[in-house]
Structure 1
């Protein structure tokens, strides 16, 4: 595909539709696939890998490489036979000294030990502090290398794509952090509920009082912060039924309402 035809494609409504799809997919699992669809229509590409590198610039080493997504015809690009230490990765030297965004071309090497090294590749790289954001585009060695015209076009396109991978990485981190926090809170809540349940049954066993299963469930639900409407929805009954269960339990325990139930729990 010529540079002129690629530019013409970029000016078409379909390109902006594909770009909108890519933008809307930042932070989710379809991002890499959307990027491949967009790029492949402009410069034939068999596979795309998206990654975030964290570098120790003083030690000239890689602290971490996070895969942000991968899409394409993986059967065209078999996995390498050997994986060497990431600090000898051919991209590292180029990325350490960069200031502005880079395009790094690497042609296929038949016996390359590196990931995807046996394929032709074009790497678009941006820098944010000690992080590098990398869009790696591949073709199998049986296909032509990326031409100078295609590389020039991809360098122009990187002004659009690199900010999007940075946004994708940030959004993914935020989602992962939120998921981790929610999981921790849920775990803590379950632990607290479990401890409260044990205390509730312990207190109940010290009396001669017998509560029905529903009365116990309502008492525990209200003690752990649930509201009458929430308990009603959970048990698939009316609000008035929850209030009835609470009144019955409270009467048996010799207390009044939720406040009295809480006082009973602490032995007041």
Structure 2
């Protein structure tokens, strides 16, 4: 049986489907699922642990969908994914050392900056751009920093990976989205492995949400591939702004 009433579980499944769709395109699925879990009665640790469980399935589905369409070669990205997994686990382990209050004050500013970049930067398309950082350097600097952030806080991780691939790796918007998903999966998996021993995960609810995440992510990834940057850019702007506003609301109590 579910850890919550059946009708509440059904609403969480719907939230997971919507989150999977949004997250596969622009990131920010946790903006939907974490508040939903908290409203369902989960404490913060249970909400984070269960969110990592169901989100891992969604990001994996999106990564495979993009790979099957030829937008990313998963094999060549495995070293980056391994780094993201370890960094995500490390971030989850040291979460208690980073004052969440500080991050809640800083991250809205950063997320609004990300939204502004994708909203107003001219020339952003699905075409590749000038590469400013070699892949090995990107893998050893940007990837572990963003993945560790995902482990100990989380909001905006997909947006930060996207911005890194666009600005530093020189990828087009669609290619950046495709490459972001495997790293998102890896950092989610790493932090999930840290959460599991805590016993906080709602397994029945989390697995039901995972099924919905898979469906939403598959549909979202196909929509992103069909429409490209014309869908990804505005949705990324909306999700980054929404995450920033939510964090500001939390900071204000």
TM-score, normalised relative to structure 1: 0.32
TM-score, normalised relative to structure 2: 0.34
Structure number having the greater strand percentage:
1
